[in-house]
Structure 1
Amino acid sequence: MNQISSFHENELDRLLALSNLGIDYYEPKQGLNYLTELAAKICGTEISLVNLIDSFTQWSVSSYGMDISQMPREESVCQYTIHTSSNEGLEVKDLRNDERFKNMFYVKGSPNLRYYMGVPLTSPEGYNLGALCVMDSNLMHLTDDVKEVLRLIARQIVDRLRLNNLVADLKNKLKESELNQKKLAHDIRGPIGGILGLSDLILEEDELTTHQEILEYTEMIKQSSLSLLDLSKDILSKEFDGNSNRNRDLREGETNLVKLKETILKLLAPQIKVKQIDFDVQLNPENQLESFSKLYVLQILGNLLSNSIKFTKAGGTITVLMNLKRNELDLILELSVEDNGIGMTSSKIHEILEAGTSTHEGTRGEQGFGLGLNLVKQLVNQRNGTLGIDSKLGVGTKFTIEMKVN
């Protein structure tokens, strides 16, 4: 395997590990702000950030001393930190003297950063999901002991992210247990109804009236069955009716179409503004308030839209259609992302759907790592969904996705 293929395979595994954390980059991350501030205080720096890095974007999920939520991956310093050969991290003594960073907006303008020290946020499986970094507008010197403490804080941050994910998973399993309880209640109604019917037939037989013992047993069966039916009614009445997912407060790990639209507009606002994209999100109003699992949804939609923005010229248009429909007990999410960008050849579409993809520069020279669409394909497959691509060079591209979001 050549070096580029090896990098792409490892990078895809890293992106999948990040996606499996199920993080909503705009939701509060419990326990992170304290650790982020602690890192800055221990190092004596003005700024500290917890950054998670996907295929297109660096997401600052916790910050101290700097109000920032995201930046393009290719403009970040932490993109180099996650690819350091050891867990020692990356130290840049003076960003002004480093060819990679001297022309970046955060060096040439406010906050006029000079010093950077970052350590990777490494998962138990060995994937660097992002970085904890400290920065300052002055030249700094950190001792080896301080750097070691910074690495310890980074491990605590990873543990906290995993813990938050486990808690959300437990809540989802509890909800699943409640749904199974509903199914159980329905399942026992049939046999119990049969017992009641049999009991009625026996009670209606005149020749059995002299058999007092049989009558007593039959009456006991009937009363027991009635009590079980009452129990099943109690179970079913506890928020398990067909509309229980509609017009209620969203639980952890859930979203709805209205909330999803609001989230992606926040996530992509900087990219849309830079390229002056005409961005339109349309919802099917029928089920727009019904809740569903957001596992992988933000990662899938975010990567699709970042790709469309990347390959759409300034002033171009991107249209997103979202629909949620029911198929018996399943909730099906339908997504459509259409742009009037540069388009793709049929061979490129085949490469994405069958063999993975390679990197290309965007319409403004944006760097890519060739894995955003490959990641989308992998995540859609994990939800047993389908990904369709319709594209024409010079005209644009339309992505369609259909997947279960139970």
Structure 2
Amino acid sequence: MAEVPMPSDEAERLRELYDLRALEAAEGVEDGEVVLEPDFQAMAELAAYVCRAPIALVSLVGRDRQYFKGRTGVVWTGTDRQISFCAHTICGRSLLEVHDARTDPRFRDNILVTGEPHVRFYAGAPMVSSRGYALGTVCVLDTRPRRLNEQQRQALHTLAREAAVLLETHRSARLAEEALRHLREMEDLKRNFLTGINHELRTPLTSIRSYLQLILDGGLDRETEHGFLKVIERNGDRLLDVLDELLLLASLNARTAVFEPGPADLVAITRLAVEEACAKASHREHTVTVEAPGDIEVRADSRRLRHALVHLLDNAFKFSPPGGRVDVVVTAGPPAVEIRDNGIGVTEEDIERVFESFYRAPEADEHAAGGSGVGLTIVKKIVQLHGGIVRMERNPGGGICVRVVLPEPPPRA
């Protein structure tokens, strides 16, 4: 049997197949379990009827195998590419017709000819995409030598053209469905954000108004009035924090945020972030450890990077029980900061989404954890400004581990 030829555009052709996601269903099933697609199945049956052939296939030629999207007259779901007649067809753009495979040096030793189903006749039209790549064929086979008439050849060409259009239509439908799902998710996120931000703004404002009214009503001793003013101050600070976060996210998205990187010590930045976060969460009495070498030089905007680390530490404290443990490890080669907690954790599905704007994991709502849902988005954008990456994963013993990795600093001149 002659060696199977390879199209000159094989790499691009395969990329087109995978871009169309045309092989996903076929490659994910075992022989005998494939579910044929009704539209392609109808094409195979029509090809068999028009060409008066016992076997008809709508096939895609992958890297190593030929997959059947529609079939009649056989029970296979595909064949090895090395014995595929269609592997020859996709090397051209015209119909390939083999009148008697026993006399054709390319196929006379093929096991489909010498054994079951004893193929003698083959005719296949290439399924050419709009970008000009032959992805597969619509073909018919017979167990006796024969020829097609001109109308039958034209019918195969038409079916192959329509099969290519159908593949691309399926892709467009999938993309539209994915876009619609994404829009729905964004609408859900916006709705959740508006609900959350309403709570984050309304709660401190309501508190401020209530305490101001009590002060205005008079009759309070000096100590009580001073305590109420402290509460008003805390709630005012909380409002400013929320507004600052929203403005920072907007400037990061618009790429207008001030970013001034320079030589910096990652260990010093981390220790300052730990001190700031611990001061905010002192009432929760966490055990915090910091493991770090003497110093690790990085190129960073110290203020922005500290801001991101404080966010991550705030989350670790917020989602850990009072008296919980938070471990911070700073390493070199590449420079990195790892923050581990023993808190409630999040699911694997939520880990994939926690850095999206306005996304709040269900665990946050279940535990009434405050926040506008933009903190981790800000962290990711700040780390990306530094050319770094941030990852989150679940700890085997419970809780979460977040790792921020920065690029190595450029060598000194």
TM-score, length of structure 2 as denominator length: 0.47
TM-score, length of structure 1 as denominator length: 0.48
Instruction: Give the number of the structure whose alpha-carbon radius of gyration is greater.
Output: 2
Query: Which structure is richer in relative contact order (CA contacts within 8 A, separation 6 or more)?
Result: 1
